Amino acid sequence: MRIRQLLVSAATAVGLIAVTAGSASASTIASPLGAADPGFTRIGSSYYLAATGSGETGTMPVFRRSSPTGAYAKIGNINAARSGYSKFWAPHLVKRGSYYFAFFSASYNGAKPCVYYASSTTVVGGYSAPRLLTCGGGSGREAIDATTYVTTEGNTYLTWRSGVHRLGFPRGDYDIIARMLAFGGSTVKFATGSANNNLLHRTSDDVYEAPSIVRRGGKVWLFVSRNRYDTNAYYTAVYSADSIHGTFTFRKNLMKTGQGYGYGPGGAEVETAADGSTWIAYHVWKESKPYPSTPGKRILRTAKLDWVNGLPVVR
């Protein structure tokens, strides 16, 4: 497969990432923070990766590059940490007007994770305290993995996973939900009159999480991660519908361990480049992780998505 690999070492944590040739097809970032859950966004002419770093301190590293390919530079951290908050996971960046908005999962005073946001006039630094957007509802449900999708009409939807583990993780009840947002200055809220739109609803099934949506070929494509994030069993699946309000149908399993993408390829986000091409960012375990107890670190990869017979293929 056609790919370049990028490695971030402790020595380059605040500098340019060294580029080395490789035979795999994805650019790789290995962060000393054990980066995972990439938030992948094009803002203006730049491409950003925000990632889970130190979940307890709220330090979420941000990388940037000027084209879909090439070397990333680490430009700093999103740090929305405040007293009482922990478990900062899966940041996702967007810009509206003069403000950057970071959406992420966090826990307050030990409660189940909910979706929060923080805003700043700069992409790193100066972020507000976390502001609550949504929780998972009753019965111990959590809300995590928030991303955004912009419709052809220009409306921005927040997409996230609500769920609760039952019968032993990763089994449980899970919903992938979308709801329209309304931005105003440094704040964002759900649009007046909008309601939760369940894209996928599963009961007594393995995990559905890390939703990411992109439009291609007149359809809306939903990428989700499944199974145990802490083993090689994690993988990425794809669904599609005619619109954000349509019925999403399973189309294919996109990436699994043993197919050349790495160990446990998941946490994926998809973005459309300025030239209309489609790109995907995801994480894998640096080494094989057959059991949850197997130690390991995660690294980030980006790759091009080609569309073959109307279906996405990772290149």
Tell how far CA 272 is from the center of its chain. 14
Higher pLDDT, 17 or 308: 308
| 259-310 pLDDT per residue, tens | 999 999 999 999 999 999 999 999 999 999 999 999 999 999 999 999 999 9
User: What is the pLDDT at residue 70?
Assistant: 78
- How many whole angstroms separate alpha carbon 48 and alpha carbon 26? 16
**Contact predicate 171/161, CB 8 Å:** no
pLDDT-above-90 percentage for the chain: 81
| 146-181 pLDDT per residue, tens | 999 999 999 999 999 999 999 899 999 999 999 999
Rounded mean pLDDT of the chain? Answer: 89
Three-state secondary structure call for residue 18:
strand
Find the domain containing 106 and state its range. Answer: 4-314
- Work out the end-to-end distance of the chain between its first and last CA atoms, rounded to an integer number of angstroms: 6
Q: Kindly tell me if the per-residue pLDDT of 205 is higher than 80.
A: yes
Confidence of residue 35 (pLDDT cuts 50, 70, 90): confident
Mean pLDDT of 101-118: 96
Instruction: 168-174: list long-range contacts, CB under 8 Å, 24+ apart.
Output: 169/207, 169/228, 170/206, 170/207, 170/227, 170/228, 171/204, 171/205, 171/206, 172/204, 172/205, 172/207, 173/141, 173/202, 173/203, 173/204, 173/205, 174/200, 174/201, 174/202, 174/205, 174/207, 174/208, 174/209
User: What is the pLDDT at residue 54?
Assistant: 66
- How many whole angstroms separate alpha carbon 189 and alpha carbon 202? 27
Strands 298-308 and 27-29: antiparallel
- How many whole angstroms separate alpha carbon 312 and alpha carbon 212? 14
Higher pLDDT, 273 or 137: 273
User: What is the pLDDT at residue 79?
Assistant: 86
Q: Kindly tell me if the per-residue pLDDT of 232 is higher than 60.
A: yes
Q: What is the pTM of this model?
A: 0.91
pLDDT-above-70 percentage for the chain: 88
Confidence of residue 241 (pLDDT cuts 50, 70, 90): very high
At 81, give phi and psi (nearest 5°): -65, 135
How many structural domains are present in the chain?
1
**Contact predicate 311/252, CB 8 Å:** yes
**Which one-letter DSSP state was computed for residue 33?**
T
Cα Rg of the chain, angstroms: 18
The sign one gets for the Cα dihedral 234, 272, 244, 240 is negative
Q: Kindly tell me if the per-residue pLDDT of 64 is higher than 60.
A: yes
CATH code of the domain containing 199: 2.115.10.20
**Contact predicate 288/44, CB 8 Å:** no
